[in-house]
Amino acid sequence: METWLVELDEGEIHFLAAILEGYDGIATLTRDYQLLEGKTYFKLLVPAGFEQEVEQLLRELRGYAAIGEVRRDLAG
């Protein structure tokens, strides 16, 4: 399992979490966050083998939600 950080406005967390829950097991967005360089990043837990699907989904959702930078391959 990889831990990613997703730059996300707090108001968008419920939207993104609901979408991810609809893709049973693709990833889990936690309410844990970090402030880095003045931006808010939420933890996204991505199981092995789902990395490409999650990347594609996040790209597609940028048209509907303010999803910013994604930082990958972080220690859990």
Query: Is the model's pLDDT at 59 over the cut of 80?
Result: yes
Could you count the other beta carbons within 10 Å of the beta carbon of residue 16? 23
Distance between CA atoms of 29 and 6, rounded to whole angstroms?
9
Give me the chain's average pLDDT, please. 92
Q: Nearest 5°: CA angle at 9, between 70 and 37?
A: 60
Using alpha carbons, select from 55, 11, 10, 18 the residue that is nearest to residue 34: 10
pLDDT band at residue 76, thresholds of 50, 70 and 90? low
pLDDT at 75 over 80: no
Q: Which domain holds residue 54?
A: 2-74
Indicate which CATH number applies to the domain containing 67. Answer: 3.30.70
> How confident is the model over 40-68, as a mean pLDDT?
95
Q: Read off the pLDDT of residues 29-43 as tens digits, 9 standing for 90 and up.
A: 999 999 999 999 999
Domain count for the chain, please give it.
Answer: 1
